[in-house]
């Protein structure tokens, strides 16, 4: 009872409901829908990132008056009343002859953005108090889980000041809005992303000492309160927002978005997809948004048995990777209390982490699949699909030694390809399915394999991924958002937008792996 009282008290740190600025759709009703559904731009994200040149009232009045005139050109109107975004990486081309490391070092400058204490009125961009890095291409703002993997590269590059600035910016978002949004845009303020903040804090602590954990303890607690909001009164077998209480009383988490409307940055795509789905539109939009919160947008991982986007049911699943990240958050909070010499509080948080680890083992270890899978809490059964998310229990020490051996064998037999590890085994045309692979998942898999002494496989994955990244760079002068590891002569595809270059998390993971490899050779 005492532990529950303490937890309830900590959850109060979530504080009040935070005021949120208006989004482009809210600022420009009617015009917004006309632009997005009229496909004025090939990418719906272009318009929501555009900056109005007059107040919304003036622009809307002009649109309502001019749109009634013969020969009205909506595209010309938008270009006259909005400043369209530019992509900094679009004009940057690397000198391949100077080598990959020079390219990586240069990109930290190319992708950096200055602090913005204020932004242009009615812009969708949210201010951040310190400099930060963007992923690149169409991604012109900071992104939550991308940033941890980018920060791995900042550490390797000894850019500790920028590493601290990035961490401070995320702490600021927690203080300002009660959580870390998907990105620093108004239209992202309805959801978060995989909670890597505790790992960012731990990364900075490796550079600046354990007092870092005390510095960010208030924000760590507030992020936990965000993820666990509504947990205490929740009956067994019920869910609220991001938390689910299972039949045994255990608490695990899911992805959730507070809106049930089409995503503003993908408005036309969502409206079209909802018309195909047989589900109520609000439920469909909620699950689309929840998948965006997961970062895996999109994958058959979230789909129903027919394997189509129209059957998406993200909120019915308890993701194994999300819950491993929340174990890490609980453990980091415990460490912060240990450093503060508050033993009772430290033990409470250690116990919470242990309970979550036990729940992951109970609900997410799929004996039939010989894999860690997501758990379908609505059907009370594990998902049958094996995905690369199944390596997270290895990276976060939640798996047993026997389970780790089984996972390693499965990776070797089914996921390991010419260029690295597949994201899933399904070829659906979605970008988070085969044949695509992504830097953050390669890194997590390598970390997990090392943790459980599967060194040979970890080294093989590293070598194949580095080789692929290097070869594509030598051919194109770019590092890319994702890669085709099944046929390495082809570029990755799928998804709602063209293949992006830059690219923050690819750069960070690659530099980290290159340096690890160099250190191993030096020994």
What is the DSSP-derived secondary structure letter of residue 136? Answer: B
Element spanning 176, H or E: helix 160-177
Q: ∠66-67-69 over CA atoms, to 5°?
A: 70
User: Is 367 in the active site?
Assistant: no
Residue of 141, 264, 297, 501 marked active site: 297
Q: Distance between CA 319 and CA 333 in Å, rounded?
A: 21
Q: Find, among 450, 507, 512, the residue nearest to 480 by Cα.
A: 507
Among candidates 444, 451, 443, 436, which has minimal Cα distance to 482? 436
- Which residues 6+ apart lie within 8 Å of 351 measured at CB? 3
Alpha-carbon span 270 to 62, nearest angstrom: 28
Cis peptide before 435 (omega within 30 of 0): yes
Q: Where are the alpha helices (DSSP H) in 38-117?
A: 45-49, 56-66, 74-81, 100-110
Of 6, 3, 495, 499, nearest to 269 (Cα)?
Answer: 495
Q: Which of 253, 136, 13, 23 is nearest to 498 (CA)?
A: 136
DSSP 8-state symbol, 480: B
* Residue 376 a catalytic site member: no
| Interatomic CA distance for residues 43 and 49, integer angstroms | 11
**Closest alpha carbon to 104 in 146, 53, 159:** 159
DSSP letter, residue 127: P
* Cα 99 from Cα 106, distance rounded (Å): 11
Give the catalytic positions in this structure: 297, 481
């Amino acid at each position: 009872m005492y532990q529950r009282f303490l937890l309830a008290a900590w959850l109060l740190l979530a504080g009040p409901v935070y005021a949120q600025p208006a989004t482009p759709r809210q600022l420009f009703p009617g015009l917004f829908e006309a632009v997005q559904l009229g496909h004025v731009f090939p990418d719906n994200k272009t318009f929501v990132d555009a900056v109005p040149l007059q107040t919304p009232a003036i622009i809307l009045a002009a649109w309502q008056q001019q749109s009634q005139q013969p020969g009205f050109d909506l595209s010309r109107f938008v270009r006259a009343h909005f400043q369209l975004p530019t992509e900094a990486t679009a004009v940057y081309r690397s000198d391949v002859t100077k080598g990959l490391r020079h390219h990586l070092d240069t990109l930290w400058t190319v992708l950096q953005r200055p602090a913005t204490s204020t932004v242009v009125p009615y812009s969708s961009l949210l201010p951040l108090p310190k400099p930060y890095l963007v992923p690149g291409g169409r991604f012109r703002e900071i992104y939550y889980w991308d940033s941890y993997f980018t920060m791995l590269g900042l550490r390797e590059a000894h850019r500790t000041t920028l590493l601290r600035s990035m961490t401070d910016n995320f702490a600021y978002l927690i203080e300002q809005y009660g959580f870390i949004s998907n990105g620093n845009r108004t239209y992202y303020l309805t959801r978060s992303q995989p909670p890597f903040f505790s790992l960012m804090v731990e990364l900075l602590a490796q550079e600046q000492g354990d007092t870092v954990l005390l510095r960010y303890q208030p924000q760590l607690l507030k992020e936990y309160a965000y993820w666990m909001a509504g947990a205490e009164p929740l009956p067994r077998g019920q869910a609220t927002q991001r938390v689910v209480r299972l039949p045994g009383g255990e608490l695990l988490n899911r992805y959730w978005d507070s809106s049930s409307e089409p995503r503003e940055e993908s408005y036309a795509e969502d409206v079209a997809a909802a018309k195909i789905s047989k589900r109520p539109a609000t439920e469909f939009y909620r699950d689309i948004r929840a998948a965006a919160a997961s970062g895996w947008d999109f994958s058959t991982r979230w789909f129903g048995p027919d394997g189509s986007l129209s059957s998406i049911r993200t909120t019915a699943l308890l993701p194994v990777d999300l819950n491993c990240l929340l174990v890490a958050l609980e453990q980091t909070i415990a460490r912060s209390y240990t450093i503060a010499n508050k033993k009772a509080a430290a033990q409470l948080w250690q116990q919470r982490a242990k309970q979550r680890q036990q729940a992951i083992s109970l609900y997410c270890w799929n004996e039939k699949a010989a894999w860690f899978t997501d758990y379908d809490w609505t059907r009370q059964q594990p998902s049958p699909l094996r995905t690369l998310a199944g390596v997270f229990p290895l990276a976060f020490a939640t798996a047993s030694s026997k389970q780790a051996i089984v996972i390693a064998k499965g990776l070797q037999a089914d996921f390991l390809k010419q260029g690295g590890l597949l994201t899933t085994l399904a070829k659906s045309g979605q970008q988070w399915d085969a044949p695509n692979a992504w830097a953050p998942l390669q890194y997590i898999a390598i970390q997990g394999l090392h943790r459980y002494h599967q060194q040979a496989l970890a080294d093989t994955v590293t070598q194949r991924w580095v080789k692929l990244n290097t070869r594509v760079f030598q051919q194109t002068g770019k590092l890319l958002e994702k890669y085709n590891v099944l046929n390495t002569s082809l570029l990755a595809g799928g998804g709602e937008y063209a293949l992006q270059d830059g690219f923050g998390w690819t750069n960070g993971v690659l530099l980290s792996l290159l340096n690890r490899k160099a250190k191993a050779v030096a020994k």
